[in-house]
């Protein structure tokens, strides 16, 4: 293991630049210096292109060097290497990317052969520990020096804030790529919560006070003015539009019905619109709770009687929604229970019901594309993107766009099991989230999306993906449910990654299931004092930083769980039991914090049996 060999062994594993690499570095440095001298002079287009080409050449030289060293199983050292690394970091900063987008993609990882993928989240300070632990794993000792897609471990570029995992910036990308390029994989999540954008508010015609005839006459005139540009378009093809009627003053139910019925007949007559494209709806502003639900149901009844096309709802935002900035659809105004009641009633009446504001999914998609495209151009093999607070239909439109823009790269949508979601028929909360997840996977499969992440978002509240026991209120899914969902995803051609407060013992259980991959943070990390830019996070009490031994421990247990399952599949029950026994001892010494000597003995015993199991696995796989 790294850190256990003597200094002579370390020297034997070190390497420096070759003579040709030294000469190329010297030439590139001279070129860059000449460009620096000319910074006060406006460069021509041709000179600027040469400057960027030189920066790309620096990165390519560094990438080739680290790939060669990795294949040889050697550590880079020397003044020239440090100089090249520094120049490469500057080149990445100046270009804002690598010379070319990612040349490989996580969807091509073979977990059936190489075991579950592992991602470890960090902003870059622990990159050497993550990398070295990955390369020292029992699997890599058996395989030997290999490309990152065989290693199957990623440094997940995330800043670990008090509110959870948040996006990284240029400095973090640079440091992570310098440490991981050519050796292990890299990934990132460009955002847990989407930056919502709405379409222009749908038009409303005010039904003012006055007699029925006066109110109808004024409403007709308003509707005519709104509809005119949607009727007389440049190509004479009407644009579809629903106009919503709103009562500005209190009226009896029958008066409202008469007005709406007359207006609806006006729309269907075709006098001022095209009835096939232009519709009338009803908008109501409701209170919270049961009174609001009752008012919304009354509006649905009224719309049905008047033969309107839709009911739109606005109201006072709930505190639970405000705490998360916003919630999906009608969950901004009502509890999940009340939204379920309202949807059931609307569906029985066959009356569409929606919030007044409609999400502009095309603009939202483009905001997501920006972050993902940066990740791809930085050379990352995977970019994840959250979909909260979209409804399932809105999520589908965003996923469809994103997948069409990244057909050969892996852009993985994220489903957060601790946040509610909904479609036009059902609200999905923790009580029925498995059904919501299965519905979401069906949508994912429609667009041939190869990889997804299933995670928790409220990590600061201690929410975890996996229950420790049936009565565990912090955990959400049982291991059996996770196995069923993972199996369903596989049938749909989807590879599921799992994350969300996964503990050290749970890593072994996920390995036994044979999942495509996991992401961990706390299981591989220790607490550190808050420092640097993190000091501005006023609610952050300490930092989580992965360590070499923390990452190695998680990787060892993940490999052990995978191999246990493979041994059982091959009918090798005795060796599977022996492996399981060694894992039990290892978890026991971790939990009880035995002295270092005993810990090393137990750990090395597990490493030995896992190494043997890998050798058997690869022979059987061939």
Is 456 in contact with 500 (CB distance < 8 Å)? yes
What percent of the chain lies above the pLDDT cut of 90?
Answer: 85
Average pLDDT rounded to a whole number, residues 286-301: 96
**Contacts of 287 by beta carbon, 8 Å cutoff, 6+ apart:** 295, 315, 316
Tokens of 498: 């799992």
* Measured distance CA(387)–CA(441) in Å, rounded: 13
CA distances from 568 to 227, 509, 599 (A): 68, 14, 27
Q: For residue 241, how many other CB atoms are within 10 A of its CB?
A: 17
CA angle at residue 145 from 582 to 5, to 5 degrees? 60
Is 273 in contact with 228 (CB distance < 8 Å)? no
Average pLDDT rounded to a whole number, residues 412-419: 97
Beta bridge partners of 282: 245, 311
CB neighbour class for 72 (10 Å; exposed up to 12, middle 13-18, buried from 19)? exposed
What single DSSP character describes residue 532?
G
Please, which pLDDT band fits residue 40 given cuts at 50, 70 and 90?
A: low
pLDDT digits (tens, 9 = 90+) for 376-400: 999 999 999 999 999 999 999 999 9
What pLDDT sits at residue 74?
85
Domains of the chain: 7-99 (no CATH), 111-195+361-621 (3.20.20.380), 204-355 (no CATH)
**Contacts of 371 by beta carbon, 8 Å cutoff, 6+ apart:** 167, 190, 191, 383, 385
SS3 3: coil
Per-residue pLDDT for 593 more than 90? no
Average pLDDT rounded to a whole number, residues 447-452: 98
What pLDDT sits at residue 212?
94
Instruction: Map 31-62 to HEC letters.
Output: HHHHHHHCCCCCCCHHHHHHHHHHHHHHHHHH
How would you classify the pairing of strands 117-122 and 75-76?
A: unpaired
pLDDT digits (tens, 9 = 90+) for 571-580: 999 999 999 9
Looking up tokens 């000319």 gives 38
Between residues 5 and 103, which one has the greater pLDDT? 103
What pLDDT sits at residue 2?
41
Average pLDDT rounded to a whole number, residues 229-257: 94
**Contacts of 306 by beta carbon, 8 Å cutoff, 6+ apart:** 257, 260, 261, 263, 264, 282
* Measured distance CA(84)–CA(355) in Å, rounded: 56
Terminal alpha carbon distance of the chain: 28
What percent of the chain lies above the pLDDT cut of 70?
Answer: 97
CA distances from 296 to 300, 462, 605 (A): 6, 36, 66
Least confident of 45-59, 68-82, 167-181, 359-373: 68-82
Per-residue pLDDT for 39 more than 80? no
What pLDDT sits at residue 500?
96
Per-residue pLDDT for 129 more than 90? yes
Average pLDDT rounded to a whole number, residues 573-600: 93
Hey, which of 42-51, 108-117, 527-536 has the most confident mean pLDDT? 108-117
* Measured distance CA(388)–CA(252) in Å, rounded: 40
Which strand (E) or helix (H) includes residue 617?
Answer: helix 596-621
* Mean per-residue pLDDT of the chain: 94
Residue 161 gets the label, from left (phi > 0), alpha (psi -120 to 50) or beta, of: beta
* Measured distance CA(139)–CA(611) in Å, rounded: 7
pLDDT digits (tens, 9 = 90+) for 78-111: 899 999 999 999 999 999 999 999 989 999 999 9
Per-residue pLDDT for 203 more than 70? yes
Per-residue pLDDT for 477 more than 80? yes
pLDDT digits (tens, 9 = 90+) for 330-350: 999 999 999 999 999 999 999
Is 133 in contact with 603 (CB distance < 8 Å)? no
Average pLDDT rounded to a whole number, residues 314-318: 94
What pLDDT sits at residue 8?
34
CB neighbour class for 568 (10 Å; exposed up to 12, middle 13-18, buried from 19)? middle
What pLDDT sits at residue 307?
97
Average pLDDT rounded to a whole number, residues 2-19: 53
**Contacts of 588 by beta carbon, 8 Å cutoff, 6+ apart:** none
């Amino acid at each position: 293991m790294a850190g256990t060999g003597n200094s002579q062994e370390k020297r034997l594993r070190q390497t420096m630049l070759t003579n040709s690499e030294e000469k190329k570095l010297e030439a590139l440095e001279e070129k860059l210096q000449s460009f620096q001298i000319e910074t006060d002079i406006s460069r021509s287009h041709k000179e600027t292109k040469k400057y960027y080409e030189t920066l790309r050449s620096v990165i390519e030289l560094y990438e080739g060097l680290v790939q060669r060293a990795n294949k040889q199983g050697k550590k880079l050292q020397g003044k020239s290497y440090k100089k090249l690394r520094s120049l490469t970091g500057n080149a990445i900063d100046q270009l804002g990317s690598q010379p070319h987008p990612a040349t490989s993609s996580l969807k091509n990882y073979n977990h059936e052969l190489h075991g579950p993928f592992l991602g470890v989240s960090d902003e870059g300070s622990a990159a050497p520990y993550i990398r070295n632990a990955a390369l020292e794993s029992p699997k890599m000792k058996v395989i030997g020096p290999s490309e990152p897609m065989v290693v199957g471990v990623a440094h997940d570029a995330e800043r670990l804030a008090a509110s959870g995992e948040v996006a990284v910036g240029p400095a973090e990308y640079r440091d992570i790529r310098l440490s991981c390029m050519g050796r292990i994989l890299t990934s990132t999540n460009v955002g847990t919560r989407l930056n919502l954008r709405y379409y222009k508010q749908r038009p409303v015609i005010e039904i003012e006070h006055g007699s029925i005839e006066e109110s109808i006459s004024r409403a007709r005139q308003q509707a005519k003015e709104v509809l005119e540009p949607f009727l007389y378009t440049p190509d004479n093809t009407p644009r579809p539009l629903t106009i919503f009627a709103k009562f500005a003053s209190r009226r009896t139910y029958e008066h409202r019905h008469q007005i709406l019925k007359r207006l609806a007949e006006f729309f269907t007559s075709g006098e001022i619109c095209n009835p096939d494209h232009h519709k009338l709806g009803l908008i109501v502003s409701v209170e919270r709770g049961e009174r609001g639900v009752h008012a919304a149901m009354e509006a649905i009844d009224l719309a049905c009687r008047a033969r309107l096309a839709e009911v739109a709802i606005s109201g006072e935002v709930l505190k639970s929604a405000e705490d998360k900035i916003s919630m999906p659809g009608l969950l901004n105004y009502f509890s999940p229970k009340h939204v379920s009641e309202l949807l059931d009633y609307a569906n029985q009446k066959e009356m569409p019901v929606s919030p007044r504001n409609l999400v502009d999914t095309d603009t939202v998609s483009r905001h997501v594309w920006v972050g993902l495209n940066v990740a791809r151009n930085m050379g990352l093999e995977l970019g994840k993107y959250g979909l909260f607070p979209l409804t399932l239909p809105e999520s589908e439109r965003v996923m469809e766009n994103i997948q069409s823009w990244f057909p050969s790269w892996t852009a993985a949508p994220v489903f957060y099991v601790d946040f509610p979601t909904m479609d036009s028929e059902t609200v999905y909360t923790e009580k029925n989230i498995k059904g919501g997840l299965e519905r979401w996977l069906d949508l994912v499969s429609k667009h041939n999306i190869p990889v997804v992440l299933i995670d928790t978002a409220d990590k600061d509240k201690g929410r975890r993906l996996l229950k420790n026991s049936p009565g565990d209120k912090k955990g959400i899914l049982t291991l059996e449910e996770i196995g069923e969902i993972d199996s369903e995803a596989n049938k749909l051609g989807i590879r599921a990654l799992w994350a969300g407060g996964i503990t050290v013992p749970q890593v072994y259980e996920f390995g036994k299931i044979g999942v495509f991959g996991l992401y961990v943070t706390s299981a591989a990390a220790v607490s550190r004092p808050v420092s640097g830019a993190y000091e501005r996070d006023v609610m952050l009490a300490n930092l989580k930083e992965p360590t070499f031994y923390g990452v190695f421990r998680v990787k060892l247990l993940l490999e052990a769980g995978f191999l246990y399952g493979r041994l059982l599949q091959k009918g090798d029950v005795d060796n599977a039991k022996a492996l399981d026994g060694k894992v039990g001892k290892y978890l026991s010494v971790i939990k009880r914090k035995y002295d270092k000597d005993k810990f090393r003995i137990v750990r090395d015993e597990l490493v030995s049996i896992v190494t043997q199991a890998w050798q058997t696995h690869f022979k059987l796989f061939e």
